[in-house]
Amino acid sequence: DAMVIQNPRYQVTQFGKPVTLSCSQTLNHNVMYWYQQKSSQAPKLLFHYYDKDFNNEADTPDNFQSRRPNTSFCFLDIRSPGLGDAAMYLCATSRPDSDGYTFGSGTRLTVV
Amino acid sequence: AQSVSQHNHHVILSEAASLELGCNYSYGGTVNLFWYVQYPGQHLQLLLKYFSGDPLVKGIKGFEAEFIKSKFSFNLRKPSVQWSDTAEYFCAVNPSGGGYNKLIFGAGTRLAVHP
Protein backbone atom coordinates (compact mmCIF):
# COMPACT_ATOMS: atom_id res chain seq x y z
CA ASP A 1 0.00 0.00 0.00
CA ALA A 2 1.15 3.51 -0.74
CA MET A 3 1.99 5.25 2.46
CA VAL A 4 4.08 7.64 4.49
CA ILE A 5 6.57 5.97 6.82
CA GLN A 6 8.31 7.63 9.71
CA ASN A 7 11.26 6.17 11.51
CA PRO A 8 11.77 5.65 14.31
CA ARG A 9 8.41 5.65 16.13
CA TYR A 10 10.15 6.65 19.35
CA GLN A 11 13.41 8.54 19.65
CA VAL A 12 15.24 9.46 22.82
CA THR A 13 18.06 11.96 22.53
CA GLN A 14 20.27 13.82 24.93
CA PHE A 15 19.99 17.51 25.56
CA GLY A 16 22.09 19.27 22.92
CA LYS A 17 22.87 16.16 20.90
CA PRO A 18 21.90 16.45 17.22
CA VAL A 19 19.11 14.15 16.12
CA THR A 20 17.60 13.30 12.74
CA LEU A 21 14.09 12.04 12.09
CA SER A 22 13.23 10.46 8.77
CA CYS A 23 10.18 10.26 6.56
CA SER A 24 9.68 8.33 3.35
CA GLN A 25 6.74 8.12 0.97
CA THR A 26 5.66 5.82 -1.81
CA LEU A 27 2.95 8.18 -3.08
CA ASN A 28 5.18 10.27 -5.34
CA HIS A 29 3.66 13.41 -3.89
CA ASN A 30 5.30 16.72 -4.67
CA VAL A 31 4.87 18.27 -1.26
CA MET A 32 6.25 17.01 2.03
CA TYR A 33 5.60 18.67 5.38
CA TRP A 34 6.92 18.47 8.90
CA TYR A 35 4.64 19.26 11.80
CA GLN A 36 5.44 19.48 15.50
CA GLN A 37 2.71 18.43 17.92
CA LYS A 38 3.17 19.01 21.62
CA SER A 39 0.92 17.43 24.19
CA SER A 40 -2.67 18.72 24.04
CA GLN A 41 -1.79 21.22 21.32
CA ALA A 42 -2.53 21.55 17.64
CA PRO A 43 -0.01 20.23 15.13
CA LYS A 44 2.16 23.18 14.13
CA LEU A 45 3.71 23.41 10.67
CA LEU A 46 7.50 23.77 10.81
CA PHE A 47 8.32 23.78 7.09
CA HIS A 48 7.56 22.07 3.82
CA TYR A 49 9.17 21.13 0.54
CA TYR A 50 7.45 21.69 -2.78
CA ASP A 51 9.62 19.42 -4.88
CA LYS A 52 13.09 20.77 -4.07
CA ASP A 53 11.90 24.18 -2.95
CA PHE A 54 12.18 24.61 0.80
CA ASN A 55 9.64 26.80 2.63
CA ASN A 56 10.25 27.67 6.24
CA GLU A 57 7.52 28.97 8.53
CA ALA A 58 8.40 32.37 9.95
CA ASP A 59 8.33 31.19 13.56
CA THR A 60 10.26 27.93 13.11
CA PRO A 61 13.42 28.10 15.25
CA ASP A 62 16.79 27.97 13.50
CA ASN A 63 17.50 24.85 15.50
CA PHE A 64 15.24 22.95 13.09
CA GLN A 65 16.49 22.12 9.61
CA SER A 66 15.29 19.84 6.86
CA ARG A 67 16.68 17.98 3.87
CA ARG A 68 14.96 16.37 0.93
CA PRO A 69 17.50 14.45 -1.14
CA ASN A 70 14.86 13.03 -3.49
CA THR A 71 11.10 12.82 -3.96
CA SER A 72 10.72 9.90 -1.58
CA PHE A 73 12.67 11.01 1.47
CA CYS A 74 12.61 13.98 3.79
CA PHE A 75 14.59 14.47 7.00
CA LEU A 76 14.11 16.68 10.02
CA ASP A 77 17.34 17.67 11.74
CA ILE A 78 17.34 19.17 15.21
CA ARG A 79 20.79 20.61 15.72
CA SER A 80 20.74 21.08 19.49
CA PRO A 81 17.59 19.63 21.02
CA GLY A 82 16.29 21.29 24.12
CA LEU A 83 13.78 19.98 26.63
CA GLY A 84 11.14 22.12 24.95
CA ASP A 85 11.59 20.24 21.69
CA ALA A 86 10.11 17.06 23.12
CA ALA A 87 7.04 16.42 21.00
CA MET A 88 5.45 14.24 18.37
CA TYR A 89 6.82 15.05 14.92
CA LEU A 90 4.48 14.36 12.04
CA CYS A 91 5.42 14.02 8.41
CA ALA A 92 2.77 14.46 5.75
CA THR A 93 2.59 14.56 1.99
CA SER A 94 0.24 15.95 -0.60
CA ARG A 95 -0.01 16.85 -4.25
CA PRO A 96 -0.23 20.61 -4.74
CA ASP A 97 -3.73 20.39 -6.16
CA SER A 98 -5.02 17.67 -3.89
CA ASP A 99 -7.60 17.81 -1.20
CA GLY A 100 -5.79 16.61 1.87
CA TYR A 101 -2.69 15.22 3.42
CA THR A 102 -1.46 11.70 3.96
CA PHE A 103 0.15 11.47 7.36
CA GLY A 104 2.81 9.21 8.76
CA SER A 105 2.43 7.65 12.20
CA GLY A 106 4.77 10.20 13.74
CA THR A 107 7.97 10.06 15.74
CA ARG A 108 7.73 10.80 19.43
CA LEU A 109 10.89 12.59 20.52
CA THR A 110 12.02 12.59 24.13
CA VAL A 111 14.90 14.81 25.23
CA VAL A 112 16.75 13.79 28.38
CA ALA B 1 -4.72 36.32 15.36
CA GLN B 2 -5.87 33.89 12.71
CA SER B 3 -6.67 30.54 14.27
CA VAL B 4 -8.76 27.41 14.42
CA SER B 5 -10.66 26.83 17.66
CA GLN B 6 -12.11 23.60 18.93
CA HIS B 7 -14.40 24.22 21.85
CA ASN B 8 -14.07 21.02 23.81
CA HIS B 9 -10.77 19.40 24.70
CA HIS B 10 -12.38 16.29 26.18
CA VAL B 11 -15.77 14.73 25.53
CA ILE B 12 -17.12 11.62 27.22
CA LEU B 13 -20.19 9.89 25.83
CA SER B 14 -22.02 6.62 26.18
CA GLU B 15 -22.56 4.43 23.15
CA ALA B 16 -25.53 5.47 21.00
CA ALA B 17 -25.34 9.07 22.22
CA SER B 18 -25.22 11.82 19.63
CA LEU B 19 -22.02 13.73 19.04
CA GLU B 20 -21.32 17.29 18.02
CA LEU B 21 -17.82 18.75 18.11
CA GLY B 22 -17.44 22.44 17.54
CA CYS B 23 -14.91 24.10 15.26
CA ASN B 24 -14.57 27.80 14.48
CA TYR B 25 -11.97 29.53 12.37
CA SER B 26 -10.98 33.13 12.00
CA TYR B 27 -9.76 33.26 8.38
CA GLY B 28 -11.61 35.43 5.90
CA GLY B 29 -12.19 34.66 2.28
CA THR B 30 -12.36 31.25 0.70
CA VAL B 31 -11.25 28.40 2.89
CA ASN B 32 -11.15 24.63 2.62
CA LEU B 33 -12.17 22.77 5.75
CA PHE B 34 -11.26 19.34 7.06
CA TRP B 35 -11.84 17.00 9.96
CA TYR B 36 -9.16 14.46 10.77
CA VAL B 37 -9.32 11.60 13.26
CA GLN B 38 -6.46 9.98 15.14
CA TYR B 39 -7.21 6.61 16.71
CA PRO B 40 -4.98 5.53 19.60
CA GLY B 41 -1.53 4.68 18.30
CA GLN B 42 -2.41 5.48 14.71
CA HIS B 43 -1.78 8.26 12.24
CA LEU B 44 -4.10 11.10 11.32
CA GLN B 45 -6.81 10.05 8.86
CA LEU B 46 -9.15 12.24 6.84
CA LEU B 47 -12.79 11.99 7.99
CA LEU B 48 -14.32 14.51 5.63
CA LYS B 49 -13.65 17.74 3.82
CA TYR B 50 -15.48 20.77 2.45
CA PHE B 51 -14.34 22.76 -0.56
CA SER B 52 -17.54 24.16 -2.03
CA GLY B 53 -21.15 23.27 -2.83
CA ASP B 54 -23.51 21.64 -0.36
CA PRO B 55 -22.50 22.89 3.09
CA LEU B 56 -23.55 19.60 4.67
CA VAL B 57 -20.72 17.18 4.05
CA LYS B 58 -20.84 13.46 4.68
CA GLY B 59 -17.71 11.56 5.53
CA ILE B 60 -16.65 8.10 6.47
CA LYS B 61 -18.01 6.04 9.38
CA GLY B 62 -21.29 7.96 9.57
CA PHE B 63 -19.76 11.35 10.34
CA GLU B 64 -20.99 14.57 8.82
CA ALA B 65 -20.15 18.23 9.18
CA GLU B 66 -21.94 21.44 8.36
CA PHE B 67 -20.22 24.55 7.06
CA ILE B 68 -21.93 27.73 8.24
CA LYS B 69 -20.12 30.58 6.57
CA SER B 70 -21.79 33.33 8.58
CA LYS B 71 -20.63 31.72 11.80
CA PHE B 72 -17.19 30.69 10.53
CA SER B 73 -18.01 27.23 11.81
CA PHE B 74 -17.57 23.65 10.65
CA ASN B 75 -19.02 21.42 13.36
CA LEU B 76 -18.66 17.66 13.25
CA ARG B 77 -21.65 15.45 14.04
CA LYS B 78 -22.57 11.82 14.36
CA PRO B 79 -26.08 10.71 15.38
CA SER B 80 -25.02 7.62 17.32
CA VAL B 81 -21.46 7.01 18.47
CA GLN B 82 -19.80 3.66 18.98
CA TRP B 83 -17.03 2.58 21.30
CA SER B 84 -14.77 2.37 18.24
CA ASP B 85 -15.15 6.14 17.74
CA THR B 86 -12.90 6.72 20.73
CA ALA B 87 -10.16 8.89 19.25
CA GLU B 88 -8.86 12.41 18.96
CA TYR B 89 -10.54 14.65 16.40
CA PHE B 90 -8.86 17.58 14.71
CA CYS B 91 -10.46 20.34 12.71
CA ALA B 92 -8.20 21.91 10.08
CA VAL B 93 -8.41 24.82 7.68
CA ASN B 94 -6.59 25.56 4.45
CA PRO B 95 -6.79 29.34 4.48
CA SER B 96 -5.65 29.73 0.91
CA GLY B 97 -8.79 28.10 -0.41
CA GLY B 98 -6.98 25.79 -2.76
CA GLY B 99 -3.71 25.29 -4.56
CA TYR B 100 -0.97 24.79 -2.03
CA ASN B 101 -2.48 23.02 0.94
CA LYS B 102 -1.17 24.65 4.09
CA LEU B 103 -3.29 23.20 6.85
CA ILE B 104 -3.82 24.99 10.14
CA PHE B 105 -5.05 22.65 12.86
CA GLY B 106 -7.18 23.14 15.94
CA ALA B 107 -5.93 21.79 19.26
CA GLY B 108 -8.05 18.66 19.00
CA THR B 109 -10.87 17.07 20.95
CA ARG B 110 -10.38 13.78 22.75
CA LEU B 111 -13.52 11.67 22.55
CA ALA B 112 -14.03 8.74 24.90
CA VAL B 113 -17.04 6.51 24.26
CA HIS B 114 -18.07 4.18 27.03
CA PRO B 115 -19.91 0.92 26.30
The pLDDT tens digits for B22-52 are 999 998 778 889 999 999 878 888 999 998 8
Instruction: Write the CATH number for A89.
Output: 2.60.40.10
* pLDDT values of chain B reduced to their tens digit, one per residue, 115 residues: 568 999 889 999 999 999 999 999 998 778 889 999 999 878 888 999 998 899 999 999 999 999 999 999 999 999 999 999 999 999 999 877 544 667 889 999 999 999 8
B101 and A50 within 8 Å at the Cβ level: the answer is no
B4 and A42 within 8 Å at the Cβ level: the answer is yes
At residue B95, the pLDDT reads: 79
Count of domains observed in chain A: 1
- From B49's Cα to the closest Cα of chain A, the distance in A is 8
Superfamily holding B4-114:
Immunoglobulins (2.60.40.10)
In a domain, A112, yes or no: no
* Among B9, B44, B101, beta carbon nearest to A103: B44
Q: Mutation target for B interface from A35, A53, A99: give the one with most B CBs within 10 A.
A: A99
Question: What does DSSP assign to residue A97?
Answer: T
Q: What residues of chain A lie within 8 A of the CB of B108, using their CB?
A: 40, 42
First to last CA, chain B: 40
Residues ≥6 apart with Cβ < 8 Å to A95: A29, A30, A31
* pLDDT above 70 (res A2): no
CB B35 within 8 A of CB B92: yes
Domain ranges of chain B: 4-114
Q: What residues of chain A lie within 8 A of the CB of B102, using their CB?
A: 45, 48
In a domain, A62, yes or no: yes
User: Which residue range is the domain that position A40 belongs to?
Assistant: 4-105
Span A2-14, mean pLDDT?
92
Q: Mutation target for A interface from B103, B104, B109, B110: give the one with most A CBs within 10 A.
A: B103
Identity of the residue numbered A30:
N
- Kind and range of the H or E run holding B86: none
* pLDDT above 70 (res A76): yes
